[in-house]
Amino acid sequence: MIDRKSHIPDLYDLKHKNDSVADNGFDYENKLFSKLFSNVLYGNDKTKNFLDMLQYNAVWMIESVLPIRNFWNYTVDKYYNKHNN
């Protein structure tokens, strides 16, 4: 998500057009809180919208650790996310 937001959308799509979705592991950008919390919390529209806003921030915090993880490997882009979670 951070990598996608930091580039121009058309250039990002062009650079990553051959990326495979099957190799990415769990889709935590869209399903983190829905798998983590009970379905009862998602039954109410207000709590669902609130949890979706919190999920965006939680994913941002998770992905902000990625540059630290790749900091010492200077041959890899700091936002390289080919790790299967």
The per-residue pLDDT for 46 is 92
Tokens of 59: 């994913």
Helix, coil or strand: residue 22? helix
23-38 pLDDT per residue, tens: 566 777 888 888 888 8
Torsion from C-alpha of 71, 76, 78, 83, nearest 10 degrees: -100
Domain boundaries, the chain: 24-85
Q: How far apart are CA 76 and CA 5, in angstroms?
A: 19
In 3D space, the residue among 80, 70, 39, 36 whose CA is nearest the CA of residue 55 turns out to be 36
pLDDT band at residue 11 under the 50/70/90 scheme: confident
The fraction of the chain above a pLDDT of 90, given in percent, is: 12
The per-residue pLDDT for 85 is 46
The per-residue pLDDT for 5 is 73
Of the listed ranges 26-35, 53-62, 76-85, the one predicted with least confidence: 76-85
